[in-house]
């Protein structure tokens, strides 16, 4: 049987999603965005990837976060998204905010990694082809390159916008000092940095501790947090061992060495706390990030629609009392 043509939920903007302004810009982003790092590669089933993308859009998740090397294999998450674009999302392109990045290892040789103009320009051209897009809404330098002059990387971002291949640019995982140069350079060239992307969750507080959150805001940029569930550790996934099919079982980006006794004890305590708040641990972990008005959005990953469905509830979670916040700190710090 032929699959019916996708038709998005008519109430997709009345389904409870909330949107926040991204720094000093015209852009609003959903509080929860969907990341395609895992579970959209050519090792995954297209049907599941499609179902998750459809569910996301049906529920007001209009921001999809990609990068050149998401998969595995490299490039295949963008290819999967390209299929979804062609089959489902093309009529809704103007409702979507799609990002990609370059900065990590992508192809062999000296031009397939880091921050040269040569790499960024070529990579974005490849990404657009894979995703069946004329432009991305947001293009990131995926990481700081200590060897390439920052001006070269930043000018490439400016020129990418001038060429119409991206509407906005952002930086991911740049140290604070280099981020300052980026904010200043990009603003001076009339392509202000839209957003800073960094890892942020209950266990990993670097953006707060290093002042990255405050710094982004002062410079008119938004902040979007990745791995908000610590790749699944901040959920009930590993409370009773390592389930088959889980990210630790796959042993790609999350190792079982992370699951120390101390960590498991912390997760159990956080899980109990979440229950007292009437939330799952995953919901509480997301609400914890969203409590902060320095944060524009969190990018969740998911391996099923059921996970995504649960995670969306975080948007309507109860506010934290000062005692609850102190208790979380006591458990993990």
Ligand X SMILES: NC(=O)c1ccc[n+]([C@@H]2O[C@H](COP(=O)([O-])OP(=O)(O)OC[C@H]3O[C@@H](n4cnc5c(N)ncnc54)[C@H](OP(=O)(O)O)[C@@H]3O)[C@@H](O)[C@H]2O)c1
Residue 140 beta carbon to ligand X: minimum distance, rounded to whole angstroms: 7
| Chain-centroid distance, C-alpha 24 | 20
What helix, strand, coil percent values describe the chain, rounded to 5?
45, 15, 40
The CA dihedral of 46, 49, 55, 58, to the nearest 10 degrees, is -80
Distances (CA, A) of 142 to 70, 170, 270, 311: 12, 9, 31, 25
Asked whether position 232 contacts ligand X by CB under 6 A, the answer is yes
- E strand or H helix at 268: helix 261-276
Q: Are strands 19-21 and 28-30 parallel, antiparallel or unpaired?
A: antiparallel
Q: Are strands 63-65 and 97-102 parallel, antiparallel or unpaired?
A: parallel
Among 230, 289, 315, 328, binds ligand X (CB under 6 A): 230
What is d(CA 68, CA 252) in angstroms, rounded to the nearest whole number? 17
Nearer to ligand X, 3 or 240 (CB): 240
Residue 329 beta carbon to ligand X: minimum distance, rounded to whole angstroms: 20
What is d(CA 9, CA 102) in angstroms, rounded to the nearest whole number? 33
Stretch touching ligand X by CB under 6 A, among 43-51, 53-61, 159-167, 227-235: 227-235
Structural tokens at position 329: 């700190």
By rule CB under 6 A, what string of x and - marks binding of each residue 70-109 to ligand X?
----------------------------------------
Among 88, 123, 235, 297, binds ligand X (CB under 6 A): 235
Stretch touching ligand X by CB under 6 A, among 110-118, 119-127, 287-295, 303-311: 303-311
By rule CB under 6 A, what string of x and - marks binding of each residue 247-286 to ligand X?
x----------------------------------x----
What is d(CA 185, CA 187) in angstroms, rounded to the nearest whole number? 6
Asked whether position 231 contacts ligand X by CB under 6 A, the answer is yes
Asked whether position 50 contacts ligand X by CB under 6 A, the answer is no
φ/ψ of 51, rounded to 5, equals -60, -40
Asked whether position 153 contacts ligand X by CB under 6 A, the answer is no
Among 65, 78, 79, 271, binds ligand X (CB under 6 A): 65
Is there a contact between 281 and 274 (Cβ–Cβ < 8 Å)?
yes
Nearer to ligand X, 23 or 228 (CB): 228
Among 35, 112, 170, 207, binds ligand X (CB under 6 A): 35
Geometric angle at alpha carbon 13, from 8 and 19, rounded to 5°? 130
Stretch touching ligand X by CB under 6 A, among 29-37, 81-89, 258-266, 323-331: 29-37
- E strand or H helix at 215: helix 212-218
Asked whether position 301 contacts ligand X by CB under 6 A, the answer is yes
E strands, the chain, in order? 19-21, 28-30, 32-35, 63-65, 97-102, 136-141, 166-172, 193-199, 222-226, 297-300
Length of the chain, in residues = 333
Asked whether position 227 contacts ligand X by CB under 6 A, the answer is yes
Stretch touching ligand X by CB under 6 A, among 2-10, 123-131, 210-218, 298-306: 298-306
By rule CB under 6 A, what string of x and - marks binding of each residue 160-199 to ligand X?
------------xx-----------------------x--
Stretch touching ligand X by CB under 6 A, among 53-61, 145-153, 307-315, 324-332: 307-315
Is there a contact between 37 and 70 (Cβ–Cβ < 8 Å)?
yes
Nearer to ligand X, 138 or 161 (CB): 138
Q: By CB under 6 A, name the binding residues for ligand X.
A: 35-39, 65, 142, 172-173, 197, 226-232, 235, 237, 246-247, 282, 299-303, 307, 310-311
């Amino acid at each position: 049987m032929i699959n019916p043509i996708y038709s998005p939920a008519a109430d997709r903007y009345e389904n409870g999603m909330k949107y926040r302004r991204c720094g000093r810009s015209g852009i609003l982003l959903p509080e929860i965005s969907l990341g395609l790092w895992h579970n959209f590669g050519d090792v995954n089933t297209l049907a599941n990837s499609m179902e998750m993308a459809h569910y996301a859009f049906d529920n007001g998740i209009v921001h999809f976060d990609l990068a050149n090397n998401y998969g595995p294999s490299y490039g295949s998450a963008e290819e999967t998204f390209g299929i979804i674009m062609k089959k489902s999302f093309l009529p809704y392109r103007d409702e979507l905010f799609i990002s990609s990045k370059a900065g990590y290892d992508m192809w062999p040789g000296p031009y397939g990694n880091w921050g040269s103009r040569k790499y960024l320009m070529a990579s974005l051209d490849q990404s657009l082809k894979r995703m069946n897009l004329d432009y991305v809404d947001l293009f990131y330098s995926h990481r700081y390159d200590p060897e390439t002059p920052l001006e070269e990387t930043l000018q490439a971002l400016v020129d990418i916008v001038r060429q119409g291949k991206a509407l906005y640019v952002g930086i991911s995982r740049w140290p604070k000092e280099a981020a300052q140069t980026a904010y200043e350079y990009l603003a001076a060239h009339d392509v202000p940095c839209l957003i800073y992307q960094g890892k942020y969750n209950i266990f990993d507080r670097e953006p707060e501790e290093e002042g990255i959150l405050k710094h982004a805001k002062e410079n008119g940029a938004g902040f979007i947090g990745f791995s908000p569930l610590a790749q699944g550790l901040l959920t009930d996934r590993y409370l009773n061992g390592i389930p088959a099919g889980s990210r630790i079982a796959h042993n790609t980006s999350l190792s079982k060495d992370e699951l120390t006794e101390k960590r498991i004890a912390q997760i159990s305590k956080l899980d109990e706390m979440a229950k007292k708040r009437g939330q799952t641990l995953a919901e509480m972990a997301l609400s914890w990030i969203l409590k902060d008005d320095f944060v524009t959005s969190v990018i969740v990953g998911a391996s099923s629609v059921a996970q995504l469905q649960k995670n969306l509830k975080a948007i309507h979670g109860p506010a934290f009392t000062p005692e609850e916040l102190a208790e979380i700190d006591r458990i993990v710090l």
